[in-house]
């Protein structure tokens, strides 16, 4: 889709239909968006509803992006549920007045307006937006330290408002990366949150970074996060061992960088680890050892993973801690099966393993990941595209774990599939 000309003489309207592009740089007063409100917290298909809301004002270092397509991520399932955080109440405590959450932590679109201090991008640029947001005046950031460790850091489109489910999304200029020209709008919209998160997990914690021939255990490998992780490992010359929940995901993983696949349904020792003095502990240990042998069988040698790529948390972490190699790292970015974890510390301290939390990605990591996508080393793994009015349904599928493998996208202002690639 071509942007309208700056010289377009059409009259400016208060609101435009989706896909009816205003003159480039002209910002209407109102826009279409999908929102959650506190009184609707619950099942995503009901919590997410289409509304008309004001187009937000932007600050000196902000940009307004005309959203062509957006991605679907699990964080906005949480937003719909109002759990584990009521993001609306959380923002109101910080002084933000809005009584709605217009989410979306992935976005591909056209820069439509820029703040007075923005110099690195311009109106008309085609961009993807990464989800690391932080206060421009945060002293931690201003001293050049990793902004992902700054007190002000938030997940854009989850902890901030006016994300990718808006006709016009508000972001900080540093979040913008060039849209890979080879990708369609929907392909470009679906990968950045998962892929940049995966990149930081695998490459952000030196010396525990993926190197040639390293074994990496990837949990939830057929999901958005896992599909990105497998490809990054492969691009680095490592060996990704994929873990899935059913056999229909096996080929997908093999097609996206895994050297082999383990079906966790073949094992039954999941969940919190029993007390080490109990009768049950022996059975649990037998299961954990069998799982470790399955990793060896995939690799064709008695080799333990240097990195365990974690996000299920409660059900899997005890096993992850056991199978991780001496001096290796368990790196985790979520707790999709629960937040209370058990770990046999004997195998942790005596083998000098690292248990590392990881969250989103900084600008440099997002840029490095985006270059892998631009080069073709990492594919977005777009597996399902929905219309704008199906945003609630897409989240419901994710909530019920019935969504397609890989990543999902929803069209916003783009009206046809397969456009935007050059």
Q: pLDDT tens, 44-88?
A: 999 999 999 999 999 999 999 999 999 999 999 999 999 999 999
- The answer on 276 and 132 residing in a single domain is no
Query: What's residue 128's pLDDT?
Result: 98
Tell me how long the chain is: 422
C-alpha distances in angstroms, 320 versus 104, 294, 302?
Answer: 31, 13, 16
**Element housing 213 (H / E):** none
- The answer on 234 and 118 residing in a single domain is no
Residues of the chain with pLDDT under 50: 1-7
Query: What's residue 344's pLDDT?
Result: 93
**Element housing 405 (H / E):** none
Of 101, 105, 104, nearest in space to 37 by CA: 101
Tell me the CATH number at 78.
3.90.180.10
Tell me the whole-structure pTM to 2 decimals: 0.94
pLDDT digits (tens, 9 = 90+) for 132-161: 999 999 999 999 999 999 999 999 999 999
Three-state helix/strand/coil letters over 346-396: HHHHCCCCEEEECCCCCHHHHHHHHHHHHHCCCCCCEEEEECHHHHHHHHH
- The answer on 255 and 116 residing in a single domain is no
CB-based contacts of 380: which residues, under 8 Å, 6+ apart? 183, 187, 188, 190, 191, 195, 373, 406, 407
- The answer on 147 and 44 residing in a single domain is yes
- The answer on 274 and 167 residing in a single domain is no
Query: What's residue 32's pLDDT?
Result: 98
Distance of alpha carbon 161 from alpha carbon 159, whole angstroms: 7
Distance of alpha carbon 124 from alpha carbon 13, whole angstroms: 20
CB-based contacts of 401: which residues, under 8 Å, 6+ apart? none
The total domain count for the chain is: 2
Tell me the CATH number at 274.
3.40.50.720
Three-state helix/strand/coil letters over 70-86: EEECCHHHHHHHCCCCC
Q: How far is CA 322 from the centre of its chain?
A: 27
Is 330 a member of any domain? yes
- The answer on 348 and 384 residing in a single domain is no
Is 152 a member of any domain? yes
Domain span including residue 254: 197-357
Is 15 a member of any domain? no
Is 407 a member of any domain? yes
- The answer on 147 and 76 residing in a single domain is yes
- The answer on 202 and 351 residing in a single domain is yes
The torsion angle over the Cα atoms of residues 43, 49, 54 and 60, rounded to 10 degrees, is: 50
- The answer on 346 and 202 residing in a single domain is yes
Is 4 a member of any domain? no
- The answer on 324 and 397 residing in a single domain is no
What 3-state DSSP class applies to 50? strand
CB-based contacts of 314: which residues, under 8 Å, 6+ apart? 271, 272, 335, 337, 338, 339, 340, 341
Distance of alpha carbon 53 from alpha carbon 38, whole angstroms: 16
Contact 384, 189 (CB under 8 A): no
Is 13 a member of any domain? no
Is 6 a member of any domain? no
Distance of alpha carbon 385 from alpha carbon 108, whole angstroms: 14
- The answer on 210 and 128 residing in a single domain is no
Where do we find the tokens 């217009």? 102
Query: What's residue 11's pLDDT?
Result: 72
Is 369 a member of any domain? no
- The answer on 184 and 324 residing in a single domain is no
203: alpha, beta or left? (left if phi > 0; alpha if psi -120 to 50): alpha
């Amino acid at each position: 889709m071509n942007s309208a000309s700056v010289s377009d003489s059409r009259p400016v309207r208060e609101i435009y239909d989706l896909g009816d592009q205003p003159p480039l740089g002209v910002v209407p007063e109102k826009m279409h968006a999908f929102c959650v409100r506190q009184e609707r917290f619950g099942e995503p298909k009901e919590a997410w509803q289409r509304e008309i809301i004001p187009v937000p004002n932007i600050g000196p270092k902000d940009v307004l992006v005309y959203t062509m397509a957006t991605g679907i991520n699990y964080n906005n399932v949480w937003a719909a549920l109002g759990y584990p955080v009521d993001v609306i109440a959380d923002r109101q405590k910080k002084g933000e007045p809005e009584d709605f959450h217009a989410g979306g932590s992935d976005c591909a679109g056209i820069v439509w307006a820029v703040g007075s201090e923005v110099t690195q991008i311009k109106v008309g640029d085609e961009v993807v937006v990464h989800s690391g947001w932080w206060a421009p005046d945060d002293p931690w950031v201003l001293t050049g330290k990793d902004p992902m460790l700054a007190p002000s850091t938030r997940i854009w489109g989850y902890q901030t408002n006016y994300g990718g489910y808006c006709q016009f999304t508000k972001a900080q200029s540093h979040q913008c990366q060039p849209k890979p020209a080879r990708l369609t709008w929907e392909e470009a919209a679906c990968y950045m949150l998962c892929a940049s998160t995966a990149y930081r997990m695998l490459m952000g914690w030196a010396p525990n970074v993926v190197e040639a021939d390293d074994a990496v255990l990837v949990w939830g490998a057929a999901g958005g996060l896992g599909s990105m992780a497998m490809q990054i490992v492969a691009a680095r010359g490592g060996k990704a061992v994929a873990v899935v929940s059913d056999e229909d995901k096996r080929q997908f993983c093999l097609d996206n960088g895994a050297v082999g696949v383990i079906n966790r349904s073949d094992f039954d020792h999941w969940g919190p680890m029993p007390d080490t003095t109990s009768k049950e502990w022996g059975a649990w240990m037998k299961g954990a050892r069998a799982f470790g042998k399955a990793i060896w069988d995939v690799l064709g040698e008695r080799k333990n993973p240097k990195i365990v790529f974690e996000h299920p948390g409660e059900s899997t972490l005890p096993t992850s801690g056991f199978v991780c190699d001496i001096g290796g790292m368990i790196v985790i970015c979520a707790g999709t099966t629960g937040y209370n974890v058990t770990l046999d510390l004997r195998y942790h301290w005596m083998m000098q393993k690292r248990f590392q939390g990881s969250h989103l990605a900084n600008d440099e990591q997002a840029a490095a990941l985006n270059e892998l996508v631009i080069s073709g080393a990492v594919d977005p793994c777009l597996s399902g595209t929905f219309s704008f009015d199906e945003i609630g349904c897409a989240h419901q599928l994710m909530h019920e774990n019935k969504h397609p493998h890989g990543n999902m996208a929803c069209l916003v202002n783009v009206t046809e599939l397969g456009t935007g690639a050059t």
